[in-house]
Amino acid sequence: MGLLQRLTRASFSHGIHPADHKAETRDKAIRRLPFAPRLVVPLAQHIGKPAVPLVHVGQEVLRGELIAHADGFLSVPVHAPATGVVEAIELRPTARGDKGMAIVIRVYQGDSQMIAGGVPQNLTAMTPEALIAAVQQAGLAGLGGGTFPTHAKLKIPEGFAIDTLLANGCECEPYLTTDHRVMLEQTDDLLRGVRIAMRACGAPRAIIGIEDNKLDALAKVKAAIRPGEPIEAQAVKTKYPQGAEKILLKSLLGREVPSGGQIFQTGACMLNVGTLAAIGKLLPRGEGLIERVITVAGPGVKQPGNYRVPLGTPVGFILEQLGFNGSAAEVILGGPMMGQAVASLEVPVTKGTSGLLVMNEAYLNQPQRKSHPCIKCGECVNACPMHLNPKELGLLAAKGEYEKMAELFHLNDCFECGCCSFVCPSAIPLVQQFRVAKAANRGRAA
């Protein structure tokens, strides 16, 4: 990698460079975890209306069978991740802290767990509309964590056209190596998915953006691209939050999503490489999404690595399987910058879970930083990738001026990446303040 190449690598301004903690798991091949005794499959693993159950309590289901159908356009169906019997359809704890309806399946131990219901499809004969319908039928939502229904992303509204499909292979969160392994081990699925997605959204070309700490994946992806194909794999600078949709769009194409707008308005469509690999794997077989790869890492887990787990697997089961160090932990679903700490080990892995971080006493016992008043150092202003003024936002939030934050300082453009809280030397909980402000504004508007 030449110096000139490194210096001119596509990137955005601001951002932060946290320690990446990926050495532990980046070279570990994906391994399959066994089925938990019970799988808790939420009906709402995506943005939009929850799916509607098709099964009833006591019904036997086969792995891969459709157990809940989509409710309208902005919704995706749910498939059974294992063969077993439906034990309950009831409220269960979710990662966000509230409870949501879920189908609880008691898995038949010792069953062959063959996937049923997959009808091979002839994709080349299908129109873009048919492809989009197939993507919805596969139960796909953004696997990078956004969980936006993938078919809704590919269906471009009237009056807009896509000139480039962007594949997000950045995985900028520390600890996570899921997408890295998928790019290395499912390269053909990924490319197949890119080609299908290009046809579905009408994009004449595609760019796969990969951070430059994953050059082995970049090389593998480049090798899998057929000569003459309008697909390109490009390295981008390793920086957080390079993998955020708005930020990667800026790095790769130099375009900005208008405030309050959507990415398709700029002529681009972006999908995570995990989602694209799932499209490439499931659509030809006509199967639904029933499992995903997650990175399990952190000082609290004895066997960190990348694991393929059935959707609905409770977090506690994974900890039992992989061994837990210590007696107390913060268990995070997702990455350490934007991930959610779970309040119960019964919370399951869902379509949007990219990682499971177990932060035990080694992390918890670090001295709690006392908050000082804002010393106006300006580090937050230099870090915010959206070029907001977190200092002003923080000072207004401390006074409770939530409306001013939204009207004058673009509070609603903040996507809570955490860069400002990360750099603040006074340890001011900026992101928390912004969340409170947004909730207060929503409550006032309601």
Partner 1 sequence: MAKKELQMKVTIELRTSPHLRKTHSVEKIMRNVVYALLPLCAFAVYQFGISTLALLLTVLASCLLTEALFARLGGREVSINDYSAAITGILLALTLPPGFPLWMGAVAGFVAIGLGKSLFGGLGYNLFNPALVGRAFVQAAFPVAITTWTPPFAAGRFVEFIPTTLTLPFTIPADIAAWSQQVAVDAFSGATPLALYKFEGVTTPATDLLTGSIAGSSGETSVLLILLCGAYLAARRMMDWRIPAGIIGSAAATSGLLYLIDPGSYPPPLFMLFSGGLMLGAVFMASDMVGSPVTPLGVWIYAILIGVVTIVIRNFGGLTEGVMYAILLGNAMAPLIEAATQPRAYGHLRRRARS
Q: Interaction with partner 1 in 323-362: which residues (CB under 8 A)?
A: 324, 327-332, 336-346, 357, 359
Which spans in 202-272 are helix H?
215-224, 245-253
Restricted to residues 17-36, the positions that interact with partner 1 (CB under 8 A) are 18
- Choices 83-91, 156-164, 216-224, 302-310 (CB under 8 A): range interacting with partner 1: 83-91
d(CA 198, CA 425): 45
Q: By three-state DSSP, how is residue 296 classified?
A: strand
Nearer to partner 1, 261 or 400 (CB): 261
Residue 365 near partner 1 by CB under 8 A: no
Restricted to residues 94-133, the positions that interact with partner 1 (CB under 8 A) are none
d(CA 298, CA 174): 10
Residue 438 near partner 1 by CB under 8 A: no
State which of residues 267, 435, 438, 441 lies at the interface with partner 1 (CB under 8 A): 435
| Shortest Å, Cβ 431 to partner 1 | 6
The residue behind tokens 């681009």 is 268
In this structure, what token pair is assigned to residue 356?
A: 């499971």
State which of residues 230, 267, 286, 316 lies at the interface with partner 1 (CB under 8 A): 316
Q: Are 278 and 143 in contact (CB under 8 A)?
A: yes
Residue 372 near partner 1 by CB under 8 A: yes
- Choices 26-34, 78-86, 134-142, 421-429 (CB under 8 A): range interacting with partner 1: 421-429
d(CA 404, CA 409): 7
Restricted to residues 186-215, the positions that interact with partner 1 (CB under 8 A) are none
In this structure, what token pair is assigned to residue 103?
A: 């189908």
Q: Are 251 and 242 in contact (CB under 8 A)?
A: yes
Among candidate residues 300, 305, 403, 380, the one with its CA nearest the CA of residue 345: 300
Exposed, middle or buried, 404 (CB in 10 Å: 0-12/13-18/19+)? Answer: middle
| Shortest Å, Cβ 289 to partner 1 | 25
d(CA 283, CA 61): 21
Beta bridge partners of 66: 79
- Choices 124-132, 210-218, 277-285, 383-391 (CB under 8 A): range interacting with partner 1: 383-391
- Choices 26-34, 71-79, 187-195, 403-411 (CB under 8 A): range interacting with partner 1: 403-411
State the CB neighbour count (10 A cutoff) for residue 46.
28
Restricted to residues 154-183, the positions that interact with partner 1 (CB under 8 A) are 174
**Phi/psi at 311 (5° precision):** -60, 145
State which of residues 62, 388, 397, 437 lies at the interface with partner 1 (CB under 8 A): 388
Nearer to partner 1, 93 or 193 (CB): 93
| Residue 103 CB-half CA count within 13 A | 32
- Choices 64-72, 120-128, 226-234, 417-425 (CB under 8 A): range interacting with partner 1: 417-425
Q: Are 434 and 389 in contact (CB under 8 A)?
A: no
| Shortest Å, Cβ 89 to partner 1 | 11
State which of residues 54, 85, 88, 116 lies at the interface with partner 1 (CB under 8 A): 88
Nearer to partner 1, 74 or 363 (CB): 363
Nearer to partner 1, 382 or 441 (CB): 382
- 302-325 burial, b at 16+ Cβ within 10 Å, e below that, comes to eebbbbebbbbbbbbbbbebbebe
| Shortest Å, Cβ 23 to partner 1 | 16
The residue behind tokens 């499959």 is 41
State which of residues 118, 267, 284, 429 lies at the interface with partner 1 (CB under 8 A): 429
Restricted to residues 219-248, the positions that interact with partner 1 (CB under 8 A) are 246
State which of residues 261, 262, 400, 444 lies at the interface with partner 1 (CB under 8 A): 261
Nearer to partner 1, 276 or 359 (CB): 359
Beta bridge partners of 84: 61, 107
Nearer to partner 1, 54 or 381 (CB): 381
- Choices 185-193, 206-214, 286-294, 412-420 (CB under 8 A): range interacting with partner 1: 412-420
Angle at 334 between CA 12 and CA 189, to 5 degrees: 80
List C-alpha distances in Å: 309 to 9, 38, 294, 306: 35, 13, 7, 9
Residue 385 near partner 1 by CB under 8 A: yes
d(CA 294, CA 301): 14
Count of residues of this chain found to bind partner 1 when the rule CB under 8 A is applied: 74
Residue 394 near partner 1 by CB under 8 A: no
